[in-house]
Structures are given as C-alpha cells and as structure tokens.
Amino acid sequence: MPESFRLRASNYSLLTLRLLTGRIEEVLPALGDQFQKAPGFLRFAPIAIGLDELGDDRVDFPALIQGLRALEILPIGVTGGTQMQRAAAAGAGLPTLRPAGQKETEVQAPAPVAAPPVAMNPPPAAPAPTPAPLAAAARTLVVEQNIRAGQRVHAQGADLVVIGTVNAGAEVIADGNVHIYGALRGRAVAGAGDDGEARIFAQIFDPELVAIAGFYAVRDGLSGTPIGRGAIVRLEGEQLRFSPIG
C-alpha cells in the first residue's frame, strides 16, 4: 500500500486573544472597533483564545466563535483556563492547545501562558504535511483588481481568487488554493500552511515562480508546462505537476 499520510509534529506561531472578561457582549464590539481602524488586519488569521485571566467566569463559546468569525477571525482552540471552561470550549468545537515546550502532564493544571510572538506571515513552509485547518475550506478571499509589481496579497487560512492579472514582481499567497482569472505573471504560492492538497489555477499561466506547500518551481524549470495557456498546478508527492485546463 502506498503511504497515504504522514503525521509530523510542527510548531506554529499563533496569536492569542486573552479574554479579560467572560462577557463576550463587551469583548466583540471592542474587537470590532479596533478592527475597523485597521481593516484587513488579522483577516482570516487563526487565533487561540487565552482563558487564564478569566478566573471562574463562564464563557458562551458558541456565541464567541460566531462573533469572531463574523469579524473574519478564526478561533482554533483555547489555552489555559479551568477544567470547566476547557470542557465548555471543547463542547463548542475548540480543543485545548498546548503551548510549545510544556510537558503533556502539566496540561491538566491551568498553566501560565507565555504570549507567543505575533506572526502575520506564515512560518517558512517546511515539507511537513499536516492537515489543513477545517475552516480553510469555507473561506475565500476575492480580489477584484490587478495585482501590481511589489504588491503582495496573503489569504490566511483561506482560498484566494484574483479576478485580474498578477503582474511580474507581484506575489499572491494562500493557505488554500489560488485561482487567477487573468494572467499569472508573478509569483503564486498555494497551501502556504503546508497544505499539499492545495492547487494553483491560472487562466493564462506565465509565472515567475509557483509553490505548493513549500515545493516550488522557478520559471527556468517550467519548460514543458502549459505556458501562456490555462493551467493547473498540483503537488504529487514531492513533485509539482502541471496540466492544461480545457
């Protein structure tokens, strides 16, 4: 039987949203205000919910998840908190995350959480396939303009659809698939969160570089691919495969 998956442990930098109160009706508007000032900030960013500062407060996790998603923030788990809180979170689909460097046995006790470094960019893609976050499938970032030299669009935890051209010197990145309805003349990176199932679709395929889950090809290596035509790029094992569309 050919190998169908591999399990690897990986460390990720995650943003933690530390709740200072269990009253989410106060948390969500305050977050919304802040995000209105910086539109696009953290868009589709996966985030951990820190429960250490809560004491025994109860949290309405389903409502919190719904509210965060409405703000285009994707909660993926909780850290710290009491057993009760963690159980409530697990009931709402948020598993308990272990901060890196801690032993498993210590997870039982509410542990102090070191604030992880803020990472807006994905960690350098290493060839260690891990399952993509489930939320990714449901999310798509649509850009309806040409992407010009020097511009960079990153769809975190999402697919990216570009209706327009990605010019030479521009870069589009998605944790999911990349679709370009126009010409791809710059760089396209799909599966930036190490999702080897991600693909790149381009109506006119003429790229500087394409990469999926850390495996890349530069233009010099693209002879024999459907240059100038519609193309799909996918990953087979450790090889990028190129096929024409239509």
Partner 1 sequence: MAQVIVVTSGKGGVGKTTSSAAFATGLAQRGKKTVVIDFDVGLRNLDLIMGVERRVVFDIVNVIQGEAKLNQALIRDKRVDGLSILPASQTRDKDALTREGVQGIIEELSKEFDYILCDSPAGIEKGALLALYFADAAVVVTNPEVSSVRDSDRILGVLQSKSKRAEEGKEPVKQHLLLTRYDPARVERGEMLKLDDVLEILAIPLLGVIPESESVLKASNSGNPVILDSDSPAGQAYADAVARFLGEEKPHRFIEAEKKKGFFGRLFGGRAA
Are 155 and 173 in contact, with CB atoms under 8 Å apart?
yes
C-beta of 159 vs 206, nearer to partner 1: 206
Q: Is 168 in the site for partner 1 (CB under 8 A)?
A: yes
Q: What share of the chain is helix, strand, coil (3-state, %, to 5)?
A: 20, 30, 50
Comparing CA positions, the residue from 179, 181, 224 lying closest to residue 199 is 179
C-beta of 62 vs 150, nearer to partner 1: 150
Residue in the structure block whose two tokens are 């939320």: 135
Q: Is 167 in the site for partner 1 (CB under 8 A)?
A: yes
DSSP string, 230-246: -EEEEEETTEEEEEE--
Q: Is 227 in the site for partner 1 (CB under 8 A)?
A: no
Residue 174 CB, nearest approach to partner 1 (Å): 19
Residue 87 CB, nearest approach to partner 1 (Å): 45
Cβ neighbours around 57 below 10 Å, total? 15
Q: Exactly one of 149, 163, 218, 245 binds partner 1 (CB under 8 A); which one?
A: 149
Hey, what long-range contacts does 186-193 have (CB within 8 A, 24 or more apart)?
A: 186/147, 186/149, 187/211, 188/233, 189/125, 189/216, 190/233, 191/125, 191/132, 191/235, 192/122, 192/125, 192/154, 193/122, 193/132, 193/133, 193/136, 193/157
Q: Exactly one of 151, 181, 203, 229 binds partner 1 (CB under 8 A); which one?
A: 151
Q: Is 139 in the site for partner 1 (CB under 8 A)?
A: no
Residue 140 CB, nearest approach to partner 1 (Å): 22
Q: Is 143 in the site for partner 1 (CB under 8 A)?
A: no
Residue 142 CB, nearest approach to partner 1 (Å): 17
Q: Is 169 in the site for partner 1 (CB under 8 A)?
A: yes
C-beta of 93 vs 150, nearer to partner 1: 150
Q: Is 187 in the site for partner 1 (CB under 8 A)?
A: no
Q: Is 165 in the site for partner 1 (CB under 8 A)?
A: yes
C-beta of 45 vs 153, nearer to partner 1: 153
User: Distance between CA 81 and CA 89 in Å, rounded?
Assistant: 10
Kindly give the residue spans of alpha helices, DSSP state H, lying in the chain.
24-37, 61-70, 83-91
Q: Which residues here bind partner 1, judged by CB under 8 A?
A: 146, 148-151, 165, 167-170, 185
